[in-house]
């Protein structure tokens, strides 16, 4: 029968329609079945899907389809992280309303995603910018405010003095506003913030239970939370040197044991003491200003040298009232961490020693190694300006001498906790965190309005539940910078809900991380009239497998963990669901070669479609099609607009089909690593698709001889059956473990075996048909359209998407004869093919008789023989 090539575009369109019409992927809460919630990070509707999306959603779809076939009730939803700055930029630059821009983008990206053939329940689609979503967010936020989880906090914002607008960090480039170019100022502003720091300890402890999260992500979150134990110590300030309102200076230290090595104190430029001293000292004021200015970019910090300014203030050492220590303002002390003040112990801290040497401050060694010559070495190094921060023994430390640093720590803490300074203990133990509270106020239009009203009489008044949602005014203007809500003529003017006097709405909107911190909860009951539905959350949560990029390792995932706890406090979520994500998988990027015009600097990048290749493999060269001039093939990098190394998923789907793109991104590279997109790889994937189709087409024409399984199988037929069932077992295991590249390799092997199988022999037609059916079923999660087409061609009238996962015949997974490697002194010398159940004694005897073994032993006495059943024999001579 004449074989037609598999027509991917036609087939894919057809099967997508069938799935839609039969509502195959519609999900209902059904507590009689085990559930599986598979979730990929929802996209930002930027306009077009990219290869990263293709990879992300393919990975999730394979798992979702597999679990469905395994009998799970699968929740696999999709939505849109639809608020954000880009929509407002589009409005500003192109005069399109943010809503129009966003909803248009959603429509086109949804069409693209549908072309991928994902097993998504589109009835559950949500867009965070839609009032039907954010009304619930506003309800919860009000509940959280009522529970004291949110508070008003004065914090710094980037202020553009020309555009009169607040800038996001990404809009500040080299300390200047991205549009105006004006030097950005830091301004204090009252903002709403979540008291996430109250949960620092709990969020840290919770990490230990997340054993299905990558170690890497847990470590990153742990560092971000940054717990450290130390001592708060209040130092009396010499009244002759300090302003009246500053009688003392409180510092935080993790090393109170090194207190006798103190040679200076340092405070942050924004510390109250620095500020009051600067009032009377213009030079100090200038220094503080300089420090503030360089605080903006990480690159500056990296190269900045440690600078200080002696305030003239002297602090009195808490363990020796006769000892006075100078107080500096220093550019490396952070106001946001600890108390914004430190004491410097140069001998034990590299940063402090640099500082001390620069300003001629004493360097007193206080911890040194116990034994020589290490001690002498350490002392020498300290003398040369290299701090010693190891463990050892205390010296030069009065009553601490001879103690270990650990004991000295305890001794200092015990003593200072007892001592009093103006009636209160000098020191207190304190656990400190790097984690800061989560400020959620954004001075933007395209975000969820914070539903409160500011009243001159009543203060801050929550918008009554009956008035929710507070929606965005559609007639806002975007032609000038600044917050459109703030300058809208009428929107913010309302009557106070309490006293009915004129009042104003909050014009700040929420950080979009709030939207994404609970969308996966909303998916469990997207049409509920309340934010959540207890029955649905109880059944569906936690998310069984979450898949997304590593770039969200900290903020999104930490905020989501926090938000689940906050929702627990307000009763919107079961407290047992404090960890809402059971397993996390972080995928690698899709990367591609870069191309640029040869010999031109700065580089002029070229799209892959603008390039013509000559030669093949390692020696291929590129020319620019339009000009015929040579192009340089550059490094392999993440696909990006700036480097133009983009491949449009639409082009691939149009030319090869979605299955081909899916198969490619699953092949070769393990999903957690980067995958290199190559044209050769895509062609290879396409070849495989055609090959499968040919095999299925051939097999479909073999007449079926009854339903009965033959009683006799030729050796070849048996071998094929074993390959099929072993592949079934292996592919199942590898999908469960998300080792899709290994599963793909197994499917190639089965296909190769099937293609090579003879068509005659006892039971062969049965074996071929059986193996083909298994192959198609195993391919179904990965290439669903091709599999449906093959399934139909094989005479089925059902959908493969509705078919259960096949069961492997355990008897076929075990071989009767096995190959045993025989080693002599650990080197492989021979192979033995033996019955599986051969005794160890017989195995040993047969190994010792082998010619190659006898030769290798070379007459030496055999000391012992290691026999590992069913694996190896090692003769030691």
> Contacts with RNA in 837-866 (CB under 7 A)?
852, 864, 866
Strands 590-597 and 675-676: parallel
Is residue 690 at the binding interface for RNA, with CB under 7 A as the rule?
Answer: yes
Neighbours of 659 (CB within 10 A): 29
Contact 771, 723 (CB under 8 A): yes
Out of 24, 794, 848, 876, point to the residue binding RNA (CB under 7 A). Answer: 876
Out of 1, 2, 756, 811, point to the residue binding RNA (CB under 7 A). Answer: 756
Span from 330-338, 357-365, 437-445, 784-792 in contact with RNA (CB under 7 A): 330-338
C-beta of 255: minimal distance to RNA in Å? 5
C-beta of 809: minimal distance to RNA in Å? 18
What is d(CA 70, CA 67) in angstroms, rounded to the nearest whole number? 5
Closer to RNA by CB, 113 or 790: give it: 790
Tokens 């062609």 correspond to 683
Closer to RNA by CB, 580 or 746: give it: 746
Span from 59-67, 377-385, 519-527, 819-827 in contact with RNA (CB under 7 A): 819-827
**Interface residues for RNA in 218-257 (CB under 7 A)?**
219-220, 223-224, 226, 228, 230, 252-255
Q: Burial-class residue 370 by CB neighbours within 10 Å (0-12, 13-18, 19+).
A: exposed
Contact 343, 265 (CB under 8 A): yes
C-beta of 270: minimal distance to RNA in Å? 11
**Interface residues for RNA in 602-641 (CB under 7 A)?**
616-618
**Interface residues for RNA in 528-547 (CB under 7 A)?**
none
C-beta of 457: minimal distance to RNA in Å? 40
C-beta of 497: minimal distance to RNA in Å? 40
Closer to RNA by CB, 75 or 853: give it: 853
C-beta of 695: minimal distance to RNA in Å? 9
* Per-residue interface string for the shown chain with RNA, residues 414-433, x marking contact by CB under 7 A: ------------------x-
Out of 125, 716, 749, 762, point to the residue binding RNA (CB under 7 A). Answer: 749
Is residue 741 at the binding interface for RNA, with CB under 7 A as the rule?
Answer: yes
Q: Report residue 271: phi and psi, to 5°.
A: -65, 140
Span from 86-94, 179-187, 333-341, 503-511 in contact with RNA (CB under 7 A): 333-341
DSSP category for residue 226: -
What is d(CA 822, CA 852) in angstroms, rounded to the nearest whole number? 10
Closer to RNA by CB, 510 or 589: give it: 589
**Interface residues for RNA in 641-670 (CB under 7 A)?**
667-670
Strands 176-177 and 172-173: antiparallel
What is d(CA 516, CA 556) in angstroms, rounded to the nearest whole number? 7
Closer to RNA by CB, 97 or 638: give it: 638
| Distance of alpha carbon 503 from the chain centroid | 42
Is residue 739 at the binding interface for RNA, with CB under 7 A as the rule?
Answer: yes
Q: Which of 664, 666, 686, 648 is nearest to 7 (CA)?
A: 686
C-beta of 588: minimal distance to RNA in Å? 8
Q: Is the dihedral of CA 42, 47, 53, 54 positive or negative?
A: positive
Name, in order, each residue with C-beta under 8 angstroms of 654's C-beta and a sequence gap of 6 or more: 9
Helix 740-756 to helix 764-779 angle (10° resolution) is 160
Q: Which of 698, 699, 870 is nearest to 769 (CA)?
A: 699
What is d(CA 110, CA 48) in angstroms, rounded to the nearest whole number? 9
C-beta of 333: minimal distance to RNA in Å? 4
Closer to RNA by CB, 403 or 550: give it: 550
**Interface residues for RNA in 302-321 (CB under 7 A)?**
302, 304, 306
Span from 78-86, 515-523, 783-791, 816-824 in contact with RNA (CB under 7 A): 816-824
Is residue 50 at the binding interface for RNA, with CB under 7 A as the rule?
Answer: no
Span from 36-44, 705-713, 735-743, 807-815 in contact with RNA (CB under 7 A): 735-743
Mind spelling out the 3-state secondary structure of 810-847? HHHHCCCEEEEEEEECCEEEEEEEEECCCCHHHHHHHH
What is d(CA 333, CA 341) in angstroms, rounded to the nearest whole number? 7
Is residue 748 at the binding interface for RNA, with CB under 7 A as the rule?
Answer: yes
Count residues contacting RNA (CB under 7 A)?
A: 84
Helix 658-666 to helix 51-69 angle (10° resolution) is 90
Is residue 550 at the binding interface for RNA, with CB under 7 A as the rule?
Answer: yes
Out of 158, 331, 443, 537, point to the residue binding RNA (CB under 7 A). Answer: 331
Name, in order, each residue with C-beta under 8 angstroms of 373's C-beta and a sequence gap of 6 or more: none
Residue 622 token pair: 């590129």
Mind spelling out the 3-state secondary structure of 748-775? HHHHHHHHHCCCCCCCHHHHHHHHHHHH
Q: Which of 531, 222, 261, 284 is nearest to 396 (CA)?
A: 261
Closer to RNA by CB, 223 or 530: give it: 223
What is d(CA 197, CA 617) in angstroms, rounded to the nearest whole number? 55
Closer to RNA by CB, 482 or 684: give it: 684
Is residue 817 at the binding interface for RNA, with CB under 7 A as the rule?
Answer: no
Instruction: Report the Cα–Cα distance between both ends of the chain, in Å, rounded.
Output: 62
Out of 190, 301, 495, 709, point to the residue binding RNA (CB under 7 A). Answer: 301
Question: How far are the Cα atoms of 66, 265, 300, 350, 438 from residue 306, in angstroms, in the given order?
Answer: 57, 14, 12, 11, 29
C-beta of 490: minimal distance to RNA in Å? 41
Alpha-carbon dihedral 254, 259, 263, 268, rounded to 10 degrees = 30
C-beta of 828: minimal distance to RNA in Å? 5
Out of 755, 807, 814, 849, point to the residue binding RNA (CB under 7 A). Answer: 755
Residue 275 token pair: 């500020």
Closer to RNA by CB, 331 or 517: give it: 331
Is residue 434 at the binding interface for RNA, with CB under 7 A as the rule?
Answer: yes
C-beta of 858: minimal distance to RNA in Å? 11
C-beta of 645: minimal distance to RNA in Å? 15
Closer to RNA by CB, 97 or 306: give it: 306
Q: Is the dihedral of CA 708, 713, 719, 722 positive or negative?
A: positive
Closer to RNA by CB, 31 or 819: give it: 819
Closer to RNA by CB, 319 or 463: give it: 319
Is residue 868 at the binding interface for RNA, with CB under 7 A as the rule?
Answer: yes
Closer to RNA by CB, 364 or 494: give it: 364
* Per-residue interface string for the shown chain with RNA, residues 667-686, x marking contact by CB under 7 A: xxxx--xxxx-x-xx-xx--
Is residue 175 at the binding interface for RNA, with CB under 7 A as the rule?
Answer: no
Name, in order, each residue with C-beta under 8 angstroms of 731's C-beta and a sequence gap of 6 or more: 743, 746, 747, 778
Closer to RNA by CB, 38 or 217: give it: 217
- State the DSSP H helix or E strand holding residue 231, giving kind and residue range, or none if neither: strand 227-237
What is d(CA 485, CA 492) in angstroms, rounded to the nearest whole number? 7
* Per-residue interface string for the shown chain with RNA, residues 449-478, x marking contact by CB under 7 A: ------------------------------
Out of 687, 759, 836, 860, point to the residue binding RNA (CB under 7 A). Answer: 687
**Interface residues for RNA in 202-221 (CB under 7 A)?**
215-216, 219-220
Beta bridge partners of 613: 622
**Interface residues for RNA in 135-174 (CB under 7 A)?**
none
Is residue 272 at the binding interface for RNA, with CB under 7 A as the rule?
Answer: no
């Amino acid at each position: 029968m004449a074989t037609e090539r598999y027509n991917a575009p036609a087939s894919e369109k057809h099967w997508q329609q069938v799935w839609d019409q039969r509502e195959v992927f519609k999900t209902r809460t059904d507590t009689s079945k085990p559930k599986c919630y598979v979730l990929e990070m929802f996209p930002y509707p930027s306009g077009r899907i990219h290869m990263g999306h293709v990879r992300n959603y393919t990975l999730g779809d394979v798992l979702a389809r597999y679990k469905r076939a395994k009998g799970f009730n699968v929740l696999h939803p999709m939505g849109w992280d639809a608020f954000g700055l880009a929509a407002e930029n589009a409005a500003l630059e192109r005069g399109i309303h943010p809503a129009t821009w966003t909803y248009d983008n959603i429509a086109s990206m949804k069409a693209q995603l549908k072309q991928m053939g994902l097993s998504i329940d589109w009835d559950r689609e949500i867009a965070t910018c839609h009032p039907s979503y954010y009304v619930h967010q506003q309800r919860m936020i009000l509940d959280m405010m009522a529970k004291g989880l949110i508070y008003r906090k004065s914090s710094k914002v980037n202020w553009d003095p020309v555009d009169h607008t607040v800038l996001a960090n990404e809009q500040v480039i080299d300390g200047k506003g991205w549009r105006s170019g004006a030097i950005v100022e830091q301004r204090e502003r009252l903002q709403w913030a979540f008291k996430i720091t109250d949960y620092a300890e709990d969020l840290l402890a919770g990490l230990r239970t997340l054993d299905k999260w990558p170690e890497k992500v847990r470590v990153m979150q742990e560092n971000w939370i940054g717990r450290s134990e130390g001592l708060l110590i209040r130092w009396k300030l010499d009244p002759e040197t300090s302003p009246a309102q500053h009688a003392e200076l409180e510092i935080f230290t993790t090393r109170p044991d090194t207190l006798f090595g103190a040679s200076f104190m340092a405070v942050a430029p924004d510390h109250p003491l620095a500020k009051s001293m600067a009032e009377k000292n213009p030079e100090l004021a200038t220094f503080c200003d300089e420090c503030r200015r360089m605080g903006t970019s990480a690159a500056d910090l990296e190269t900045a040298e440690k600078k200080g300014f002696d305030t003239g203030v002297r602090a009195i050492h808490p363990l020796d009232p006769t000892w006075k220590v100078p107080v500096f303002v220093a550019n490396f002390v952070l106001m946001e961490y600890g108390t914004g003040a430190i004491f410097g112990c140069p001998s034990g801290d590299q940063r402090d020693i640099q500082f001390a040497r620069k300003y001629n401050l004493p360097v007193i060694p206080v911890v040194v190694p116990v034994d020589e010559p290490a001690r002498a070495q350490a002392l020498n190094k300290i003398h040369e300006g290299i701090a010693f921060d190891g463990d050892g023994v205390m010296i030069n430390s009065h009553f601490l001498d001879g103690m270990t640093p650990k004991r000295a720590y305890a001794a200092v803490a015990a003593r200072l906790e007892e001592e009093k300074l103006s009636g209160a203990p000098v020191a207190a133990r304190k656990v400190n965190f790097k984690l800061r509270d989560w400020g959620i106020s954004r001075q933007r239009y395209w975000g969820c309005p914070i539903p409160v009203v500011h009243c001159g009489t009543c203060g801050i008044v929550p918008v009554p539940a009956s008035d929710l949602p507070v929606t965005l005014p559609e007639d806002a203007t975007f032609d000038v910078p600044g917050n459109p809500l703030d300058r809208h003529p009428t929107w913010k003017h309302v009557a106070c809900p309490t006293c009915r006097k004129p009042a104003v709405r909050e014009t700040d909107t929420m950080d979009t991380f709030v939207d994404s911190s609970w969308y996966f909860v909303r998916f469990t009951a997207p049409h509920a009239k309340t934010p959540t539905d207890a029955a649905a959350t109880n059944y569906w949560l936690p998310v069984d497998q979450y898949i997304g990029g590593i770039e969200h390792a900290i903020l999104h995932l930490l905020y989501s963990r926090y938000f689940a706890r906050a929702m627990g406090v307000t009763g919107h979520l079961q407290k047992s669901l404090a960890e809402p994500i059971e397993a996390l998988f972080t995928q690698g990027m899709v990367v591609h070669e870069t191309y640029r015009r040869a010999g031109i600097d700065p580089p002029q990048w070229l799209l892959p479609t603008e390039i013509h290749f000559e030669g093949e493999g390692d020696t291929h060269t590129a020319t620019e099609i339009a000009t015929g001039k040579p192009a340089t093939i550059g490094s392999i990098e993440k696909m990006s607009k700036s480097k133009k190394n983009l491949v449009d998923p639409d082009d691939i789907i149009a030319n090869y089909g979605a299955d081909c793109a899916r198969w490619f991104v699953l092949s070769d590279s393990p999903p957690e690593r980067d995958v290199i997109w190559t044209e050769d790889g895509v062609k290879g994937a396409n070849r495989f698709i055609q090959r499968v189709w040919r095999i299925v087409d051939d097999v479909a024409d073999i007449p079926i001889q009854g339903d009965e399984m033959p009683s006799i199988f030729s050796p070849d037929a048996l071998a094929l059956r074993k390959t099929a069932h072993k592949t079934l077992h292996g592919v199942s295991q590898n999908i469960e473990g998300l080792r899709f590249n290994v599963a793909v390799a197994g499917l190639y092997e089965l296909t190769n075996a099937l293609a090579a199988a003879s068509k005659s022999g006892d039971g062969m037609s049965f074996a071929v048909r059986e193996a083909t059916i298994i192959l198609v079923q195993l391919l179904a999660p990965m290439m669903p359209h091709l599999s449906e087409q093959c399934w139909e061609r094989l005479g089925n009238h059902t959908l493969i998407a509705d078919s259960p996962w096949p069961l492997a015949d355990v008897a076929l997974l075990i071989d009767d004869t096995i190959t045993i490697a025989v080693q002599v002194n650990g080197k492989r010398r021979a192979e033995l093919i033996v019955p599986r159940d051969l005794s160890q004694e017989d195995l040993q005897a047969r190994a010792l008789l082998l010619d190659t073994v006898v030769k290798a032993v070379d007459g030496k006495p055999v000391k012992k023989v290691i026999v590992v059943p069913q694996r190896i024999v090692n003769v030691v001579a």
